Amino acid sequence: MVNTALAWSLSTPSRFDGYPSPSRSDWRGFVNHSFSVDDGCLRYHLKITDDPHSISKLQDWRKIHSLLERRYRAPELIDWLDFPEIGFAGLLLQQVDGRIANFCDRPALVDQLIELADRLHNDADIRSRLIARESPKTYFDHFRPTGKIRPNLRASARAW
């Protein structure tokens, strides 16, 4: 029933009124599909994808979820779910109910957000646990997809 509901919901923009009831919320991700799933008592956030690269990134999240939860207020990971019948896999997370931040009324919140994001991006423990599958790309690398670069791009990339 769940696989059928997910397959239907992935192809239909409206809410599916089955059990459990996935609610399509694609605004949360660019490649992943996000759902609020509930059984009438408990609510979860389901983040799934059929893109192999994105599945790999979600598996990275799974590897470091305890650090993310402890240090960065990430929602609790409940389980990893595979839906081989429809080719999707992903994370089942605790649903975090919240509201949209009003940065105009609370400018200090912007500073807190920037500080938290900066700590996350510079966290040595997380970096050490995420083994790069390939060398990280620099801005310069994005200018030369063919390996050949025009002289004027070389100068502008150096100045960058």
Final residue of a structural domain among 68, 94, 120: 94
The tokens describing 148, both together, are: 């050949």
Q: What are the residues whose beta carbons fall under 8 Å from the beta carbon of 84, sequence distance 6 or more?
A: none
Within-domain flag for 102: no
What are the helix (H) ranges across 23-95? 52-72
User: Domain residues for 13?
Assistant: 2-94
Across the chain, the runs of DSSP E, i.e. the strands, are 21-24, 33-38, 43-49, 77-83, 88-94
φ, ψ dihedrals at 50, nearest 5°: -115, 5
Helix (H, G, I), strand (E, B) or coil at 147: coil
Final residue of a structural domain among 94, 122, 142: 94
Domain check: are 66 and 10 in the same one?
yes
Domain check: are 89 and 14 in the same one?
yes
The tokens describing 99, both together, are: 């509201």
Final residue of a structural domain among 51, 66, 94: 94
φ, ψ dihedrals at 142, nearest 5°: -70, -15
Helix 107-121 / helix 52-72 crossing angle, nearest 10 deg: 120
d(C-alpha 39, C-alpha 41), whole Å: 6
Within-domain flag for 31: yes
Residue type at 62 in one-letter notation: R
pTM score, whole prediction: 0.64
Per-residue pLDDT 10s for the chain (160 aa) are 455 555 555 555 434 344 444 444 444 456 789 989 888 888 999 999 999 989 999 999 999 999 999 999 999 999 999 999 999 999 999 998 888 888 899 989 999 999 999 999 899 999 888 876 556 666 566 555 555 444 444 444 444 4
Q: Specify the pLDDT at position 83.
A: 94
Within-domain flag for 22: yes
Within-domain flag for 100: no
